[in-house]
């Protein structure tokens, strides 16, 4: 019996998800530059031609992975819009970020490897602009007496602190005091 259009679409979605999952794992484990389309196709047990049917290049594949990863993180970083207290909003964001760190280790491993490659880091920076806007707004609410330049410096400090936590956690994993870092960050900014 011939397949329906819906069945073909389901097969296409499953194949695309498999390719994205395998590529993310290989990029995170071996690095973007050390992973080829051939490696991805081989690990996914598909032909290179079929992979190119879904993605025109390794760069397009990376962009899909980054977009997908940040969409998942976006979903986990939803701030209660009705909450008026900026400290509570920031605490929700911090909890969501740390939950994502603990539950999406491969995503964050990929993040750290990409951020260390200047020619690719701009892709993350473009995608993460939304987070900077959210944190900037919250910092203005938390520190209404600061000038825009001071808020920008606080945002840079906060971002560097978060990046350091992410990097150390990815490197040290179970030996890194992730829960204690979350508590310290909440104490510093939310109490």
**Inter-residue contact 55 to 38 (CB < 8 Å):** no
For the cut 60, the answer to whether the pLDDT of residue 103 exceeds it is yes
Q: Are the folds of 1-56 and 63-190 the same?
A: no
Size (the chain), residues: 191
Cα 138 from chain centre = 20
Mean residue pLDDT of the chain comes to 85
Q: What is the pLDDT of residue 156?
A: 86
Least confident interval from 7-21, 59-73, 150-164: 59-73
CATH homologous superfamily of 1-56 equals Homeodomain-like (1.10.10.60)
The fraction of the chain above a pLDDT of 90, given in percent, is 34
The rounded distance, in Å, linking the Cα atoms of 76 and 97 is: 8
**CATH hierarchy code of domain 63-190:** 1.10.357
Model pLDDT, residue 81: 57
The answer to whether 171 and 116 have CB atoms below 8 angstroms apart is: no
pLDDT digits (tens, 9 = 90+) for 113-123: 888 888 877 77
Other Cβ atoms within 10 Å of 16 Cβ, number: 15
Question: What is the residue extent of each domain of the chain?
Answer: 1-56, 63-190
């Amino acid at each position: 019996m011939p397949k329906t259009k819906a069945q073909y679409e389901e097969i296409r979605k499953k194949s695309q998800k498999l390719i994205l999952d395998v590529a993310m794992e290989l990029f995170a484990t071996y690095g973007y530059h050390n992973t080829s389309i051939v490696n991805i196709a081989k690990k996914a047990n598909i032909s290179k031609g079929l992979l190119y049917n879904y993605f025109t290049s390794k760069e397009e594949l990376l962009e899909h992975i980054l977009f997908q990863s940040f969409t998942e993180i976006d979903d986990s970083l939803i701030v209660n819009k009705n909450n008026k207290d900026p400290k509570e909003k920031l605490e929700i964001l911090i909890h969501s970020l740390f939950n994502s760190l603990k539950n999406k280790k491969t995503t964050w491993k990929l993040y750290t490897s990409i951020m260390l490659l200047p020619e690719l880091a701009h892709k993350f920076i473009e995608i993460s602009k939304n987070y900077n806007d959210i944190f900037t707004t919250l910092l203005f609410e938390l520190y209404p007496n600061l000038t825009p330049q001071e808020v920008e410096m606080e945002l840079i400090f906060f971002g560097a602190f978060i990046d350091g936590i992410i990097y150390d956690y990815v490197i040290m994993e179970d030996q890194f005091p992730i829960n204690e870092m979350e508590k310290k960050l909440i104490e510093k900014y939310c109490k």
